[in-house]
Each structure stands twice: as structure tokens, then as C-alpha cells.
Chain A
Amino acid sequence: MTVPTLSIKNLHKSFADNQVLKGVDLEAHKGDVISILGASGSGKSTLLRCVNLLETPTSGDILVNGELIEMKQDKKRGAIPASIKQVERIRSRLAMVFQGFNLWSHLSVLENVIEAPVHVLGVPKKEAIVKAEALLQRVGLYERKDYYPEQLSGGQQQRVAIARALAVEPEVMLFDEPTSALDPELVGEVLTVMRDLAEEGRTMLVVTHEMAFARDVSNKVLFLHQGLVEEQGKPEDIFTNPTSERFKQFISTVY
């Protein structure tokens, strides 16, 4: 059996007295597309943000390609990364696509895409530009490469954000509700790009409300409820034969 690309073990996260994650396990192998579902407040975004340590887990292990992210205890702040260098290196291998796009507004579309390769990974600028142009071509925004983010629609911005994520050749792509901030008519263009990525074998973790995407594109679905995995499995199984009462309720209210 191969080493999982991403492995999360017994992950806990609390904010002050509020326990958001109460022991979550997750394993992603190369090419897995895992949809994480759940009502708001179920901890699904927090789970995703713990993977690249935008939130520091209170306890539990995260391994990327078998490499454990080392943690240590701090008197005041509790668990903190033992080596920020290690965390930065691992972050640079995990690309995140945010709900609010978070493109750098002072940089053009092209500059956004080459920023991390050039300034974090040290790729020569010329090389990065060639690649970025190909990626923009791919998400259908090559013509807009010299525009600034605020000149684009939400759907276009999110496609640029996906190109920015692809540019670092990530081990795992983390999608945090990538279509939730979009007007309904713009959701389709983003989902099409994501479907494409899934088909070419990218490893993806997708926090989403898009049931159709979870059912048709992902090969594994995780349903979180109050900080715990309430139901998980292949979409064809759990959507047709949900075992948990809460997941049944959840699908009936969303559909």
C-alpha cells in the first residue's frame, strides 16, 4: 500500500471553550477527490484550514506524503508548529482556493499566477510566465492576463485563483467553498474547471455545498456533524443508502 498523500489522524480543534473538531480522521491518496459536506458550523472549513495550518490544530496529526507536521506545546498559546520553516515548506506544496478568491489586488492576473512559483518556490520568472500563460489558457482567461482582479467577474476571479493554485504543482488542492460567493450563473464555469482537474487525477479536498459535484465528481464523501465524521463513503453508496439519520435529513433539505 502506498503512502497516503494526506493523512489526518484524530484531529481536534477548539476555539477557547468551543470545540469545533472532536477527532476527525481522513486519508487522501493520489488522485482522490474528497468532498466534505456539512451544515454551517459543522467544522468543515476549520478541518480544511487545519490541513495547511491556517488554523493550528489543538491536537492530532497531519502527514503530507508521510511527513508529519511537527507540533510542540507553548505555555501561553497551546499547540504550535515546532518549525515554522517546515510548515511554510508544506504550505507551498498545498494550494488553497478560497471562498472569497483572495487574489492579490495589487497584482495583475498573470502576476498573481507567477507570484508563488517565483517568490516562494524560486522558479525562474521566464519559466513561470510560460507556464502561467498555459494555465490561464486552460481556465480560459489568457486574454485577461494583464487585467487586475477587480476588473473581473467573480467566476473569472475564481478561475484565476485555480490557475494560481495549479501553478505551484500542488500535492493536494484545498477548495474552501469555492462557489459559495458566486452568483448562480457563474457557478457552472468554476465547477467545469474543477471537474476537469478531477478527471486529470489531481488530489483534491473540496468543502462544498454543491451536491451534484459531490455526487458526480468526487470518489469519496465525508459528512461532518458537530465536529465529527457522521457518514463517509463512496458517493454512489451514501447518497443512495445513507446510514445516518442526520445525513438523510441533510440531503433532503439541500435538494
Chain B
Amino acid sequence: MFSLYGYQDIFIEGAWLTLQVALLSLVLSVALGLLAALAKLSHSTVLKSIATLYTTIIRGIPDLILMLLIFFGGQLLINDMSYNINEWLNETMTGYYPDHEWTSYLPDYIDISPYFAGIVTIGFIFGAYMAETFRGAIISVNKGQLEAATAYGMNKYKRFSRVMFPQMMRYALPGLGNNWLVLLKTTALVSIIGLQDMVKIAGDASGSTQKPFTFYLVVALIFLFYTAVSTSVLKWAERKYSIQTR
């Protein structure tokens, strides 16, 4: 049986973790992307500027740097915030009851898990790319069909869920698929913030066994397997959506 100097089980766990991070980031990025795309196309100048700022900043900074910034910065920000909220709550309480004792209402130190940070960071980064994909898809949807939805009395939520969404998905699919492949590969970066994904495990294992090529080759093959499966699923999905319209 195929063995990896005793690392096979932990490798499978790492591969599974990579997939989890990727899938959860995908969900987050699709949600963020959809929101940002709708904000960009809205009539509100405030929403438009927020969304534009988001996509401009995220797309203009390397993923690696962003990940480090969000991981370390997020940690600082959250702890700073919980410290300040604690201080403020205590001061207010002392103001009302002079004999109030100092209490930690929020934990003094919150440790962000690399798992959570990785998902949030990747979701955040790819949300910006998804936003552009969705924006393009939304403006490709036939205006007359939306108008028909309005004319038949649909409210804006029905119009979105019954007409806009199913139609924009078929324009979004190619771009969405492309983003997914890049996102999947970007998960390799979460190893730098200490997550035990397969890239981190490969690094550790090659350090102790002196067989880096073997381990990184396995990582490469697993990624290739993931992307190959994704590609065929995407092909199937694109065909399914286009059959409906042909």
C-alpha cells in the first residue's frame, strides 16, 4: 500500500482541511461578491463608493500580504476593540455605581484561529474578484425580461430570485469557475499563518525526512486532482444552464 514515511494519514487530514477552507471561502466570497456587485450597481453613492473602495484595495494588494495583514491586523483590531469596549463599559458602570468592581465583560485576549482567519481572508480577497464577475453578469441580463417581471407585478425580491439570479448565473459561471480554481490554489497560502493544511504538512514532513520533492509532488497531485474534478463539474454546470436557454 502507498505510504508516505508514516505521513499518509495526517496528509489526508491536511488535504481535507484544504478542501474545507476552499469551500467555506467560496461561500463567503460568493456572498460578499454578490453584495458588492449589487452595491456597485445601486443608485446609492455611499454603497457604490464602499464597494469600489473594497474591490480596488483588495485587487491591488498581493494575496500573501493581505493574508498577513488581515491575520495580524485583525487580531490587533479585535483585541484593541474588546479592550476599549471593556474599559468603556467599566467606566460607565463606575459612573453609575461608584463601588463597581472592574470586570472583563469581553475576553481580554481573543486568539483568532488560523482556520477562521484563513477562510475570512480568502473569502474577503475573492469576494472582490467575484464582485466583478457578478457585476458583469448582472448587466448582461436582458432588460426586457426584468421589465416583464415588473410588469407582471413582481416585487424586487421576486424579480431578483425568479428572474435576475437564474439568468445571471449562466453569465457568471465561466468567471465563477475561473475564480474558484484560483481560490483553491490560493489556500496554499494559509500554511504561512500556521494552519495544518497539506502544504504545511508537506513542509514539516520534508524537513524531517529530507524528501521535499516527494512531499511537494504529492501536494501538487492532490491540487491537480481537485482542480480536475472542479473543471468537469463546471463543464457539466455550464452545459446544464445553457441547455435551458437553447
Contacts and interface: CB of A to CB of B under 8 A. Distances in A.
Given A100-B144, A105-B142, A115-B162, A120 B244 contact: no
A8 B245 CA distance: 39
Contacts of A94: 151
Interface in A94-133: 94-96, 98, 100-106, 115-116, 119-121
Contacts, number: 72
B245 A120 contact: no
Q: Which one of A90, A120, A121, A150 has the greatest number of beta carbons of chain B within 10 Å? A: A120
Give the interface SS of chain B, mostly helix, strand, loop or mixed.
Answer: helix
Contact of A106 (B144, B148, B151, B166): B166
B153 A102 contact: no
A116 B153 contact: yes
B151 A104 contact: no
Given A54-B147, A98-B148, A151 B246 contact: yes
B155 A88 contact: yes
A183 to B, nearest CB: 19
Contact of B152 (A84, A92, A100, A106): A92
Contact of A105 (B152, B155, B162, B167): B167
B90 to A, nearest CB: 45
Nearest to B142: A105
Contacts of A84: 155
Nearest to B143: A102
A29 interface: no
A91 interface: yes
Interface in B150-182: 150-155, 158, 162-163, 166-167, 170
A91 B163 contact: no
B145 interface: yes
B58 to A, nearest CB: 31
A233 to B, nearest CB: 29
Interface string A60-101: 000000000000000000000000100011111111101011
A204 B170 CA distance: 36
Contact of A91 (B144, B150, B245, B246): B150
Given A105-B167, A106-B244, A98 B153 contact: no
A232 to B, nearest CB: 25
Contacts of A105: 142, 145, 167, 245
A218 interface: no
A168 interface: yes
Contacts of B244: 106, 148
Given A102-B145, A105-B245, A106-B244, A96 B151 contact: yes
Contacts of A100: 144
20 contacts: A54-B147, A54-B150, A88-B154, A90-B153, A91-B152, A94-B151, A95-B152, A96-B151, A96-B152, A98-B151, A103-B145, A104-B145, A104-B148, A104-B149, A104-B167, A105-B142, A106-B166, A115-B152, A120-B154, A150-B246
Interface of B: 142, 144-145, 147-155, 158, 162-163, 166-167, 170, 244-246
Interface of A: 52, 54, 84, 88-96, 98, 100-106, 115-116, 119-121, 148, 150-151, 164, 168
Given A100-B144, A120-B158, A148-B244, 9 more contacts: A54-B147, A88-B153, A91-B153, A96-B152, A102-B148, A106-B244, A120-B153, A148-B246, A150-B246
